[in-house]
């Protein structure tokens, strides 16, 4: 009978195990274990937290790399430029400190919950997901990686080894905002992430806007992004948000909120986020 748990120390050990099939990947376990309370785990677990080189955030050239074993606490304590403020704000929202100490950014993305706090931020930052298998390495844009609720582009023989973010410009700023039924430890009704870069004269050079909890997967809002690009310094960015910009979203009615309320609240969060980035 095969082992029920392995904790390899290198990708050279881990990837052949995944290639052989049948393993579930375990990082912080803060999604995996609560999903199986009172029930046996359906498959043996491959714990990736001891694999060399998978933990930490570093910039090499024009790319920031967040290793797959990097926790939310690692994000909070990292020295990052202001463009990553939204990621730090999301990190503070993921459960409490114990969850942030164990839970990983990559695990949040791979779990593919519609309400995952990190996912819209990574999408707005234009992140790519790096996947490794014994067959090699490939990259998938974060917006294409999450296919739907609990579904990703990661094959069973693959491991996400890192998330890569093109280095934002020095003037880039970002904000994340989430609305739940209570202030802390809440699953959101809606959440928004906005990343704006500016030219030397203050015009908006690029915009990334993404919304979570309002579709089976987080979505970017290209029509709103296009309206923001070119806005001059001091322009009222919040006034550019229109209901039609939210057309990629397909919110549901559930016990947390009605679809109509989610859309209304999303517009308000977007306006507030843009107002905070307008100066
Ligand atoms: C009390 C509590 C509160 C929480 N609050 C929030 C919250 O407010 N917001 C929020 O977004 N989340 C919340 N979560 C969910 C969870 O903490 C986060 O999603 C966390 O980031 C998951 O990371 P992890 O390392 O623990 O993932 P794990 O549980 O280890 O894994 C999650 C999934 O991703 C897969 N996976 C993990 N790493 C990889 C990899 N490198 N390659 C391929 N597949 C991989 C696993 O196989 C599994 O399917 C909460 C959880 C708890 C228990």
Provide DSSP, 186-234.
--EEEEEEEEEEE-TTS-EEEEEEEEESSSSS-EE-HHHHHHHTTPPTT
User: What span, in angstroms and rounded, lies between the C-alpha atoms of 124 and 210?
Assistant: 5
pLDDT at residue 103 in the model: 98
Give 197 Cα–ligand 1 centroid separation in angstroms: 30
Which residues are near ligand 1 (CB < 6 Å)?
24-32, 34, 48, 68, 93-95, 99, 102-104, 106-108, 110-111, 116-117, 154, 159-160
By percentage, how much of the chain surpasses pLDDT 90? 91
pTM: 0.97
Q: Do the bridges between strand 57-60 and strand 173-180 make them parallel or antiparallel, or are there none, so unpaired?
A: unpaired
pLDDT at residue 1 in the model: 43
User: What span, in angstroms and rounded, lies between the C-alpha atoms of 189 and 275?
Assistant: 21
Which atom, in ligand 1's list, is nearest to the CA of 24?
47
Nearest CA residue ID for atom 13, ligand 1: 94
Q: Which tens digit of pLDDT belongs to each residue from 35-85?
A: 999 998 889 999 999 999 999 999 999 999 999 999 999 999 999 999 999
Kindly write down the DSSP assignment for every residue of 72-130, as one continuous string.
Answer: HHHHHHS---GGGHHHHHHHHHSSSHHHHHH-BHHHHHHHT-TT-SHHHHHHHTT-EEE
């Amino acid at each position: 009978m095969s082992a029920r748990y392995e904790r390899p120390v290198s990708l050279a050990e881990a990837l052949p195990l995944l290639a052989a099939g049948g393993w579930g990947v375990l990082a912080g376990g803060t999604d995996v274990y609560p999903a199986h309370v009172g029930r046996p785990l359906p498959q043996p677990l491959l714990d990736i937290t001891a694999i060399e080189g998978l933990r930490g955030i570093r910039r090499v050239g024009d790319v920031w790399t967040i290793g797959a074993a990097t926790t939310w606490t690692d994000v909070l304590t990292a020295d990052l430029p202001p463009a990553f403020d939204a990621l730090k704000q999301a990190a503070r929202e993921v459960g409490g400190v114990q969850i942030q100490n164990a839970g990983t950014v990559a695990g949040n993305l791979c779990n593919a919950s519609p309400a995952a706090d990190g996912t819209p931020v990574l999408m707005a930052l234009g992140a790519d997901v790096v996947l490794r298998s014994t067959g090699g390495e490939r990259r998938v844009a974060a917006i294409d990686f999450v296919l739907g609720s609990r579904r990703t582009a990661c094959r069973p023989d693959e491991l996400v080894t890192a998330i890569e973010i093109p280095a934002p410009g020095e003037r880039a700023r970002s904000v994340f905002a989430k609305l739940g039924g209570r202030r802390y430890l809440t699953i959101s009704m809606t959440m928004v992430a906005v990343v704006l870069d500016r030219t030397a004269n203050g015009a908006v050079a690029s915009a990334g806007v993404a919304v979570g909890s309002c579709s089976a997967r987080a979505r970017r809002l290209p029509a709103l992004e296009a309206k923001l690009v070119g806005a001059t310094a001091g322009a009222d960015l919040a006034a550019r948000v229109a209901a039609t910009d939210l057309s990629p979203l397909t919110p549901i009615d559930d016990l947390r909120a009605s679809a109509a309320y989610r859309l209304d609240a999303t517009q308000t969060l977007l306006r507030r986020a843009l107002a905070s980035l307008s100066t």
